[in-house]
Amino acid sequence: MPLSETPPPPPPPPPQASAPRKHYFYWGQRALRRSPHRPFVHSHLLSLSRLKLKAPLKPSKPQPFSLSDWDPHSTSPPPPFPPPSSLPLSDRRLSPLARFILSSLRRHKRWGPDILSDLSKLRHVPPPLVCEVLRSRPPLPPSLSTPFFLWAGKQKHFRHDYASFNAFAHLLSLTRQPGLANQVPHLMHMHGKPPTEKQLDVLVKLHSQTGHPLRALEMFRRMRAEYGIKPRVFLYNRLFEALIRKGHVDQALSVYNNEFREDGLKEEAITFTILVKGLSRAGRVEEVVELLERMRSQVCKPDVFAYTAMVKLMADRGNMDGCLRIWDEMKKDGIEIDAMGYATMVSGLCKVGKVEKGLELFNEMKSKNMLIDRSVYRALIEGFVGQARVGEACGVLQEMMDKDYRPDLGIYNTLILGLCNVGRVDKAYKLFEIVIQEGLRPGLKTVSPLLVLYADKGHMDLFLKLVDQVSNLGLVVIDYLTDFFKMFLDKGEQEMNALKIFDEMKEKGYCSVGIYNILIENLYKLKERKRAISLFEEMKRSEKYLPDSDTCSLIIPCFVEEGEVREACSCYNSMMERSYTPTVNAYCSLVKGLCKIGEIDLAIALVRDCLGTLTNGPMEFKYALTIINECKTKKPDKVVDVLDEMIELGYPLEDITFCAIMHGFCKYASSAEARKVFAALREQGVLTEANYIAYEEILNEHLKKVTAGLVISGLKFFGLESELKWATNPD
């Protein structure tokens, strides 16, 4: 090697292995002050051999903790927890420490050693950081937020501030724990933080936002009594508004007359406005006028917006007399009424039939050159049509079109209905043509009045022409015919004409199961049960219009009242095979029919099926099962008490009630107890002599069936059914 070259540096010595550290725990008497988190112990030496440590449930490899991993602007590798990029946008706005705590809580999902291990990596969690974690979105469940809040309070030299308590109460309210949120003020008091008006404001606001103002009122009164808090006017206003929004006007007035007066507060304009709106919604006009007088004398006159709100609240509930009273108060105060107030009054007056007064206000609007909304014209047209003043309604329509307003389909429907009611077929059809020319889609309320008018006058050519026109427009004709039959049959005594129209429409292919059901229902109401049954049989023979659930429920009463109970039972069985649910009327009719023919056991089984299937079963069925249950006691007096209760509550004693008495006593006692009940009812005058004899015969027949059933069951049990011989009487 040349002398000019420098020798290479010697290799560095290998790193020496560090000696293992010896861990000893010497617990001596602490020099610091006592603390519940620092136990006071006497000195003694503990070695690792004597220290018993519990092994972790799930040993995990420790990973280095780096706070930069939770910084969204950091370029370091992603942490073992979900990276910031996968977190919601609301979490990315949090500080790195808050994201770390939330990620640990959400990853483990249960408070335990794993979460405590992650939290131990942080040197200190200050109150602002606790508040930031508790206010995160989505909110933490109470199973995590409560232990975290308590853990933070146990840190060395840590005390929760008002912000963290408020955040904890807000979190509990968001997670639907209002009872726990109400306990936060007591928790504050225990930590030496007496609750203030701010905490009361937070709780009132939270309960109001969740729609529970009565809870807010309870907390309001409790904190006033326990902590001597005197709320300011704005908090009272918030409580008044929350109570009135949910309809608790009396409670709001009680707070106003008691607590508000006791605190010696002076009302603001918004206070009167809130209370007046609540009273207006409740229709208490005299109290509204009284409050308005007090408002004028103490604060100021109500403005046009407050008056308009009062008028609208009363008009929405049809209290137009109160609206007129408030209207007079507005004029008394010299308020310049705007177009909104006039429109509300005109619409409300026309809706309750006071069209003349509405027309007077309408003329006032025109004299003041106000912008008249289309809703005002619509209200006037509907009011005139309701009073059969169709000519004046058409005049309003013409005036509306002169003002360059385009009528909507609702206005045209109202006028077509009014013209049809007065028999003006030609003008009603002209309006229908205008609807088509305007590019509007005719609805059921557009076509059905015309069809009904044509059917009434017997103009079947015009009827068929209109049906074809509806079909050419690409509309579903069956829907329009279904609505037509409903309107036509609601007029009464039109069933025969409806059947003729139905036969003609059926030939043209315009038919449906719904139309069949409408006809069957109306025929049953007219006691034309045979015609209804013939329609049902026609549906059964067809392959296109098979009976549905409504059809079977409508035809069962027809069969029962015609004495064809077996056919009704067959219809019910077909419904069960198709998983249909009968109506209450169908159940009641079938049970009544079975009781008439003495099939008591089947009737009771049907009662149980009805109450197990429907939620609105009749009370007579429920009392029938109650009677059967009382029959188990074998005491007729208790059954009579149940019957007396039914009579007192106004429930009639039907056939199923007496059949339940027979069924229960024959099954659990004897027929003698049933006869005692019938005798007691006859003595009370509930049963006539004829009904008593009839129920005696039904009881005897039922007893024979029960006895025969027991005999046959015994023979089958002993295998002697082959010995059973059926004898026939030659006579």
3-state secondary structure of 710: helix
pLDDT, tens only, 68-79? 555 545 555 545
The pLDDT, as a whole number, for residue 716 is 62
The pLDDT, as a whole number, for residue 291 is 86
Segment (H or E) for 45 = strand 44-46
Question: Alpha-carbon distance 565 to 580, whole Å?
Answer: 19
Residues 195 and 188 sit within 8 Å (Cβ to Cβ): yes
DSSP code per residue over 606-618 = HHHHHHHH-SS--
DSSP code per residue over 129-170 = HHHHHHT-SSPPPHHHHHHHHHHHHTSTT----HHHHHHHHH
The pLDDT, as a whole number, for residue 14 is 53
Q: How far is CA 605 from CA 558, 621, 624, in A?
A: 21, 11, 11
Residues 231 and 200 sit within 8 Å (Cβ to Cβ): yes
The pLDDT, as a whole number, for residue 50 is 40
Residues 597 and 705 sit within 8 Å (Cβ to Cβ): no
Is omega for the bond preceding 147 within 30 degrees of 0, making it cis? no
Neighbours of 306 (CB within 10 A): 22
Burial status of residue 686 (CB atoms within 10 A of its CB: 0-12, 13-18, 19 or more): middle
Catalogue the long-range contacts made by 257-266 (C-beta closer than 8 Å, 24 or more residues apart).
259/220, 259/221, 259/224, 260/236, 263/230, 263/231, 265/232, 265/233, 265/236, 266/233, 266/298
Low-confidence ranges of the chain (pLDDT < 70): 1-92, 492-493, 707-731
Report the alpha-carbon angle 140-109-191, nearest 5: 50
Alpha-helical runs (H) found in 443-543: 444-457, 460-472, 477-490, 495-507, 513-525, 529-541
When computed from its CA atoms, the radius of gyration of the chain, rounded to whole angstroms, is 42
Question: Alpha-carbon distance 55 to 282, whole Å?
Answer: 68
162-174 and 197-209 are packed helices; what angle lies between their axes, rounded to 10 degrees?
20
Question: Alpha-carbon distance 607 to 601, whole Å?
Answer: 10
Question: Alpha-carbon distance 259 to 195, whole Å?
Answer: 19
3-state secondary structure of 27: strand
Question: Alpha-carbon distance 666 to 705, whole Å?
Answer: 11
Question: Alpha-carbon distance 68 to 65, whole Å?
Answer: 9
Tokens read off for 385: 């049509």
3-state secondary structure of 41: coil
- 334-352 exposure pattern, b = at least 16 Cβ within 10 A, e = fewer: ebebeebbbbbbbbbbbbb
Amino acid at 68: S
Helix, strand, coil proportions of the chain in percent (round to 5)? 65, 0, 35
Question: Alpha-carbon distance 534 to 688, whole Å?
Answer: 38
